[in-house]
Amino acid sequence: RTISLTAIALPEEPIPGVVIVLHDVTELRRLERTRQDFVSNVSHELKTPLTSIQAYADTLLEGAIDDAGHNRQFVERIVEQTERLRTLILDLLSLAKIESQQEVFEIQPVRIAAVVANCIDAHRAIAESKDVALICPDTVEDSVLMADPDGLRTILDNLVNNALNYTPAGGSVFLEFARDENWGEIRVRDTGVGIPRDQLPRIFERFYRVDKARSRAVGGTGLGLAIVKHLTQEFGGNVDVTSELGVGTTFRVRLPLAAEHVTTGD
């Protein structure tokens, strides 16, 4: 523990003395360290694509612009890294907005089947290009959850994106749904690379990645799961994960059912 000590002299009192105040500043120190780590992570993440944009642009200016064999390739790298910066900045802004509670959510009844169907449509092409099957069993029940529709879509998009990114060709990603009396549960299950058990508790932290190189290669920012966690909490729910290395990973998002769909027992 870290204790800070303040001594206040009391010379004017009838009996002169000193008051000593002890503050436990452990938590403050921890928060300050988290903030410093965050700033240094952000700076590093922004610097990496920027350095490469600058290097490609310099090389072009130094003559490669006239090299028909390479100039197009260099410009493509610049566009790629610019896109990476853009995604990172958008993710950072959306996380900052959610965390500072500036984002206004319109929590309302949302039909799960519609959100799942839209999400699958949006990812069908990318799944096909990666040769990963994206499957929503017919048994998905059309229950109604309480959530902000755009926020719920962001949650699913992030989880499905990850599942597609961390599942090798030939594998599958399933979107399943279950419910009990009060809660609806959306499961995003993949047959991918899996996550080592000791790292599971950390993957919802900002910028935490199991394999940095792989995350970067698939265009990850390390912020997706932090956003998912904050959003589900904002909607009064929670998210958890189970995984087995080399077998696959399942994320479960639990959200409250809309009142008229809650089983009352009568």
191 binds ligand ADP (CB under 6 A): no
Judged by CB under 6 A, the stretch of 49-57, 61-69, 146-154, 192-200 that binds ligand ADP is: 192-200
Least Å distance between CB 206 and ligand ADP? 8
88 binds ligand ADP (CB under 6 A): no
Least Å distance between CB 244 and ligand ADP? 11
The span from the first CA to the last CA of the chain, in angstroms, equals 53
Map tokens 């994960």 to a residue.
241
Least Å distance between CB 163 and ligand ADP? 5
192 binds ligand ADP (CB under 6 A): yes
CA atoms of 44 and 25, how far apart (whole Å): 28
Least Å distance between CB 85 and ligand ADP? 14
Give the residue nearest to ligand ADP (CB). 220
171 binds ligand ADP (CB under 6 A): no
Interface residue with ligand ADP, options 123, 221, 229, 254 (CB under 6 A): 221
Interface residue with ligand ADP, options 49, 149, 151, 224 (CB under 6 A): 224
Interface residue with ligand ADP, options 45, 148, 176, 190 (CB under 6 A): 190
Runs of H (alpha helix) within the chain: 26-61, 71-99, 112-129, 149-165, 212-217, 224-234
User: What phi and psi, each to the nearest 5 degrees, are found at residue 6?
Assistant: -120, 125
Structure token digits, residue 169: 């060709």
193 binds ligand ADP (CB under 6 A): yes
CA atoms of 227 and 161, how far apart (whole Å): 13
Burial call 107-144: b when 16+ CB within 10 Å, e when fewer: beebebeebbeebbeebeeebeebebebebeeebeebb
Residue numbers at the binding site for ligand ADP (CB under 6 A): 158, 162-163, 166, 190, 192-193, 195, 203, 208-211, 215, 220-226, 249
